[in-house]
Amino acid sequence: MRPVAVEAMLPFFSGRFANPSGSHRFARDARRAVDEARDQVADVLGVAPGEVVFTGCGTEADNTAILGAGGVAVCSAAEHHAVLHPVLEHGGTVVGVDATGQVDLDRLSAALTAETAIVSVMAVNNEVGTISDLAAVAKLVRRLAPRALLHTDAVQAVSWLDVRTIAPLVDLMSFSAHKFGGPKGVGVLTISDGVSVDPLIIGGGQERERRSGTHNVAGIVALAAALVEADDQRAGENERLAALRDRLVDGVSGAVDGVVETVPRDRKVAGSAHLCVEGIESESLLYLLDEAEICASAASACASGAMEPSHVLAAMGVDRALAMGALRLTLGHTTTIDDIDRAVDVVSTSISRLRRVSVR
């Protein structure tokens, strides 16, 4: 977590512990803290404070949008499971993507019908880092399905893109604090004025009946503090981390053969390095990296006992054998040049070691 976020939340575990829905002075103090956080969040996300709904996580924000729209949902095949599963389980339509993970606009046009209640296309892909052309998606959806709501899962966008430019294009946006240096277990769904989605959680009527449940005051305050800092640092961090990402990818590709960059750099966010390594299996590589305390992911899901390549790579048409060697390395506000140089060394040595073993 960003130190500003930790610092912001600590008082709410001790002196300022009250429930903001109460009526006494301590409750009013907690309510003020939530209101201030809401104003800060609204400012960074380019919406009005009344359009901000605090949720328990990004998954809840996604589920509320998809299920609360109350009809047939359409989404891209590269969505996170937090969108994909509710769409599929409620009879929705999944639309194919191109080789970079960008939704195919022709196929999206064909999928839109008079029954379409909501279209969901992510702002930034969590596995490969591709930035979606939401302006093109919005133009198409408004023309062909004017009654449909447009949602974007912007969980991965905040550190890299100015969300104020996305907000006017869509009706609903999802966020999660732990993706920008806040705590886990708190998120945001923005709901544009005049748009109505049924709540997923009903009860005490908090968040103007849109999300019941006692507010996670410490989490909300920390989310806002992290968001404000991420917004302030965005331009500088984009530049710094793009240079470090290039050093990482070029370093590994220069040291070993058969390393394929999954998505061109100009189509993706600065903090994402996604490689497919020929002739190795991600699982073994991750084991060696973990031993050297390099935390990486393969973006593979272990389904029915067998390692399956990620649904995102499959949708992008990446060859199955190549996808089995996927390696996802992400950079963030704490990443240093020393981290990168060490990662280049360990990743390259580990790939060479695995290839030697498999030849024997």
Across the chain, how many H-helices and E-strands are there?
11, 12
Q: Active site includes 57?
A: no
Among 38, 80, 151, 311, binds ligand PLP (CB under 6 A): 80
d(CA 248, CA 254) in angstroms, rounded, equals 10
Span near ligand PLP by CB under 6 A; candidates 17-25, 56-64, 285-293, 300-308: 56-64
Among 9, 72, 82, 285, binds ligand PLP (CB under 6 A): 82
Pick out residues in 139-158 that bind ligand PLP (CB under 6 A): 153, 155-156
Among 53, 57, 121, 249, binds ligand PLP (CB under 6 A): 57
With b for 16 or more beta-carbon neighbours within 10 A and e for fewer, the 19-53 pattern comes to: ebeeeeeeeebbbebbeebbebbbbbbbbeeebbb
Among 102, 176, 272, 282, binds ligand PLP (CB under 6 A): 176
* 190 forms part of the interface with ligand PLP (CB under 6 A): no
How far are the Cα atoms of 43, 197, 288, 307, 350 from residue 357, in angstroms, in the given order?
Answer: 54, 55, 13, 20, 11
Under 8 Å between Cβ of 331 and 240: no
Q: What share of the chain is helix, strand, coil (3-state, %, to 5)?
A: 45, 15, 40
| Residues shown for the chain | 360
Q: Which is nearer to ligand PLP, 149 or 189 (CB)?
A: 189
* 272 forms part of the interface with ligand PLP (CB under 6 A): no
Backbone angles phi, psi at 272, to 5 degrees: -110, 125
Q: Which is nearer to ligand PLP, 40 or 176 (CB)?
A: 176
Q: Which is nearer to ligand PLP, 300 or 350 (CB)?
A: 300
Binding track over 285-324 against ligand PLP, x by CB under 6 A = ----------------------------------------
Least spacing, CB of residue 87 vs ligand PLP, in Å? 13
Least spacing, CB of residue 145 vs ligand PLP, in Å? 23
3-state SS class at 220: helix
- Estimate to the nearest angstrom the gap between the alpha carbon of 230 and the chain centroid: 15
Under 8 Å between Cβ of 231 and 18: no
Least spacing, CB of residue 200 vs ligand PLP, in Å? 13
Instruction: List the one residue out of 225, 256, 261, 227 whose CA is nearest residue 246.
Output: 261
* 131 forms part of the interface with ligand PLP (CB under 6 A): no
Least spacing, CB of residue 137 vs ligand PLP, in Å? 16
Least spacing, CB of residue 60 vs ligand PLP, in Å? 7
Question: Two tokens at 78?
Answer: 């590269």
Which residue number places its CB atom closest to ligand PLP?
A: 58
Q: Which is nearer to ligand PLP, 159 or 350 (CB)?
A: 159
Least spacing, CB of residue 72 vs ligand PLP, in Å? 21
Q: Which is nearer to ligand PLP, 126 or 310 (CB)?
A: 126
Binding track over 13-52 against ligand PLP, x by CB under 6 A = ----------------------------------------
Supply the DSSP string of 229-297, one letter for each residue: HHHHHHHHHHHHHHHHHHHHHHHHHHHSS-EEESS-GGGB-TTEEEEEETTS-HHHHHHHHHHTT---B
Residues of the shown chain interacting with ligand PLP in the complex, contacts defined by CB under 6 A: 57-59, 62, 80, 82, 122, 126, 153, 155-156, 176, 187
Catalytic residue numbers?
A: 302
